[in-house]
């Protein structure tokens, strides 16, 4: 089954009477305004009016019979076109096609196409952008003379666009082209950014008064370039009430940690406020005034404001993320630009996550190094050989037997930790062997001599100590015991102990020996009987 194209319209007229103060497109940003950096990069024809007039921020005004609009020659056999590079890439919610000042010179049918391309992409003679394809966003629609056509899409586009192409069928003129949408912030942007800039996605959601200067001018990029009221800044009417103040609330492009606030009063000299203060809060709602739980922090106290000057105020001590700021002026006046520099919360979170991952990786690496050290210690205790390299130890198991056996010349970076024993000298070995044999013969002769002295063939060497001799005397025949007792007494007499060989100890020793002899004699008598 093939694709079925819907017959429902993709757009509607948001202000049929051209008299509405607010409408469904009021809260969107004009992405095609020169005030935000938009530029007409090429057009098919500019016979009676430059295409650059399409993106002027101020309303069209005709003077001296010259149209303040883009007007092409008549009787064009093909459609005329003009390619606009938007000030910021963004999604599209609707269009404002303005023909004021054109009555009879206006285009009768127009359409709008969009594409996403690089900022420096070239446009050929037919209006095609290199590396991109045009997508129709607004189909051909009839427009009238000297009027505004606020055409809102039923559903804002999900895709973002960087270039627009206005088509005139077949020719004519258009005074202004507004591409109303939402800025898509470049995700690659890092570091300190002006979070209150329209190009960062900021919006002025509410102001107490902007009768003399649009509140949206506060967040335009760059400083004011002229004294034109359309781009000069935010300006309120004069007040007569004591203690009066005006304010404007800006929703930041993204929540962030603020570091610096700037107040610019260029072209406001004599009609600037007396003083100003800045407050900040965090809320997920579009307008903090509708959030009863929103709390405003005063990050800049009430400060004197001078005319025609850029005021820079450090607020880096604040460690709380904010989503909105509120400029309060006393009692009234004009401010050209409001800047709120800081770092996005998600960037801080990404850095924290990256640091956490790096710390985890380092901990894992340290654990692996510790495990490797334990394995190397175990391998060092094992009988397998270990080789020293300039980088450290390497077990012999890492060398394949084929490579180890086939290497003819020794590797200077793989020397054994324990050198092999040198080959023994033959003469020295013979001398050592003869010495051992002589020692054995001498020991054998001594043993035979002792065996001849002993009646029962007992080896005296096992009773080398006085205590062993005493035991031998108690268990051997009487002649042997006499010799043992004699040697024991002589040993006792030669000792230098305090209780041995003294007058006090001799009687007791004699009595102990007499008792021992009596016990030994009784034991012998019992044995013989």
Task: Say which range, 110-119, 187-196, 329-338, 475-484, has the weakest mean pLDDT.
Answer: 475-484
Query: What is the chain's mean pLDDT, rounded?
Result: 79
Same domain, 254 and 312: yes
153 within a domain of the structure (yes/no): yes
Residue 56 has pLDDT above 60, yes or no: yes
Residue 375 has pLDDT above 80, yes or no: no
Residue 160, token pair as written in the block = 């973002």
SS (H, E, C) 465-511: CHHHHHHHHHHCCHHHHHHHHHHHHHHHHHCCCCCCCCCCHHHHHHH
488 within a domain of the structure (yes/no): no
| pLDDT score for 189 | 77
Same domain, 207 and 133: no
484 near 470, Cβ under 8 Å?
yes
pLDDT band (50, 70, 90) for residue 468: low
Neighbouring C-alpha atoms within 13 Å toward the C-beta of 502:
7
What average pLDDT does range 423-451 have in this prediction? 60
| pLDDT score for 226 | 74
**Read out DSSP for 246-314?**
EEEEEEEEEEEEEEEEEEE-TT-SSSS-SEEEEEEE--SSS-GGG-TT---EEEEEEEE--TT-EEEEE
Residue 37 has pLDDT above 80, yes or no: yes
| pLDDT score for 434 | 67
Residue 470 has pLDDT above 80, yes or no: no
Same domain, 114 and 31: yes
pLDDT band (50, 70, 90) for residue 377: low
Residue 442 has pLDDT above 80, yes or no: no
Per-residue pLDDT tens over the stretch 294-336: 999 999 999 999 999 999 999 998 789 999 999 999 999 999 9
Give the end of a domain, one of 132, 163, 183.
183
Same domain, 134 and 93: yes
| pLDDT score for 96 | 97
Residue 264, token pair as written in the block = 């610019």
481 within a domain of the structure (yes/no): no
What average pLDDT does range 106-125 have in this prediction? 94
Domain with 50 in it = 11-183
Task: Say which range, 51-60, 179-188, 237-246, 378-387, has the weakest mean pLDDT.
Answer: 378-387
Closest Cα partner for 116 from 135, 97, 139?
A: 135
Give the end of a domain, one of 183, 207, 228.
183
Q: Rounded distance, CA 135 to CA 162, Å?
A: 12
Residue 356 has pLDDT above 80, yes or no: yes
Residue 156 has pLDDT above 50, yes or no: yes
36 within a domain of the structure (yes/no): yes
C-alpha dihedral (247, 249, 255, 258), degrees to nearest 10: -20
Same domain, 341 and 211: yes
Residue 421 has pLDDT above 80, yes or no: no
What average pLDDT does range 10-20 have in this prediction? 90
What average pLDDT does range 45-62 have in this prediction? 92
Task: Say which range, 157-161, 217-221, 413-417, 433-437, has the weakest mean pLDDT.
Answer: 413-417
Same domain, 220 and 330: yes
pLDDT band (50, 70, 90) for residue 435: low
Portion of the chain with pLDDT greater than 70, in percent: 68
pLDDT band (50, 70, 90) for residue 111: very high
Per-residue pLDDT tens over the stretch 216-272: 999 999 998 776 778 889 999 999 999 999 999 999 999 999 999 999 999 999 999
Same domain, 325 and 235: yes
Same domain, 105 and 207: no
Closest Cα partner for 114 from 148, 139, 78, 144?
A: 139
495 within a domain of the structure (yes/no): no
| pLDDT score for 20 | 86
Residue 451 has pLDDT above 80, yes or no: no
Tally the domains of the chain: 2
Give the residue, 39 or 502, on which the prediction is more confident.
Answer: 39
Residue 484 has pLDDT above 90, yes or no: no
Per-residue pLDDT tens over the stretch 263-285: 999 999 999 999 999 999 999 99
Q: Rounded distance, CA 185 to CA 89, Å?
A: 8
170 within a domain of the structure (yes/no): yes
Same domain, 241 and 203: yes
165 within a domain of the structure (yes/no): yes
Q: Would the pTM count as exceeding 0.75? A: no
Same domain, 142 and 28: yes
Same domain, 279 and 341: yes
Q: Rounded distance, CA 217 to CA 204, Å?
A: 9
226 within a domain of the structure (yes/no): yes
C-alpha dihedral (362, 367, 370, 375), degrees to nearest 10: -130
Give the end of a domain, one of 293, 321, 347.
347
Residue 42, token pair as written in the block = 């090429």
Same domain, 65 and 204: no
Domain CATH for 239: 2.60.120.260
Sign of CA dihedral 300, 306, 312, 314: negative
């Amino acid at each position: 089954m093939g694709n079925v194209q819907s017959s429902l319209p993709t757009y509607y007229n948001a202000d049929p009477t051209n008299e509405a103060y607010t409408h469904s497109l009021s809260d969107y940003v004009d992405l095609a305004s020169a005030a935000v950096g938009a530029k007409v990069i090429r057009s098919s024809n500019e016979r009676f009016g430059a295409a650059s007039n399409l993106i002027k921020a101020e309303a069209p005004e005709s003077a001296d019979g010259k149209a303040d609009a883009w007007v092409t020659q008549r009787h064009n056999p093909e459609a005329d076109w003009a390619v606009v590079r938007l000030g910021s890439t963004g999604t599209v919610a609707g269009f404002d096609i303005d023909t004021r000042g054109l009555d009879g010179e206006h285009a009768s049918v127009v359409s709008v196409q969009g594409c996403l391309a690089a900022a420096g992409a070239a446009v050929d003679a037919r209006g095609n952008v290199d590396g991109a394809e045009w997508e129709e966003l607004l189909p051909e629609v009839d427009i009238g003379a000297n009027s505004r056509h606020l055409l809102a899409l039923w559903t804002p586009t999900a895709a973002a666009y960087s270039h627009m192409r206005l088509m005139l069928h077949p020719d004519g003129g258009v005074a202004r082209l507004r591409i109303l949408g939402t800025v898509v912030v470049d995700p690659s942007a890092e570091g300190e950014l002006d979070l209150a800039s329209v190009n960062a996605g900021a919006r002025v959601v509410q102001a107490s008064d902007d009768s003399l200067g649009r509140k949206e001018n506060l967040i335009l990029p760059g400083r004011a370039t002229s004294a034109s009221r359309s781009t000069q800044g935010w300006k309120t009417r004069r007040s007569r009430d004591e203690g009066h103040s005006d304010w404007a609330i800006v929703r930041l492009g993204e929540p962030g940690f603020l570091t610096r606030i700037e107040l610019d009063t260029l072209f406001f000299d004599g009609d600037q406020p007396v003083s100003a203060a800045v407050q900040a809060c965090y809320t997920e709602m579009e307008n903090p005034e509708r959030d009863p739980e929103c709390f405003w922090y005063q990050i800049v106290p009430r400060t004197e404001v001078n005319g025609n000057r850029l005021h820079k105020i450090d607020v880096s001590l604040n460690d709380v993320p904010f989503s909105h700021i509120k400029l309060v002026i006393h009692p009234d006046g004009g401010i050209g630009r409001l800047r709120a520099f800081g770092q996005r919360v998600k960037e801080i979170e990404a850095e924290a996550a990256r640091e956490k991952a790096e710390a985890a990786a380092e901990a894992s690496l340290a654990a692996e190094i510790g495990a490797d050290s334990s394995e190397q210690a175990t391998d060092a205790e094992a009988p397998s050989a270990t080789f020293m390299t300039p980088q450290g130890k390497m077990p012999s198991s890492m060398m394949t037997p084929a490579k180890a056996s086939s290497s003819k010349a020794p590797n200077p970076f793989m020397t054994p930790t324990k050198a092999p024993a040198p080959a023994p000298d033959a003469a020295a070995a013979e001398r050592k062997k003869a010495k051992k044999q002589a020692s054995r013969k001498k020991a054998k002769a001594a043993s035979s001599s002792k065996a001849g002295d002993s009646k029962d063939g007992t080896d005296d060497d096992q009773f080398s100590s006085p205590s062993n001799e005493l035991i031998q005397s108690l268990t051997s025949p009487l002649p042997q015991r006499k010799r043992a007792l004699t040697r024991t007494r002589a040993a006792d007499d030669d000792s230098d102990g305090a209780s041995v060989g003294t007058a006090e100890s001799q009687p007791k020793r004699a009595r102990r020996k007499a008792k021992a002899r009596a016990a030994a004699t009784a034991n012998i008598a019992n044995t013989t009987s």
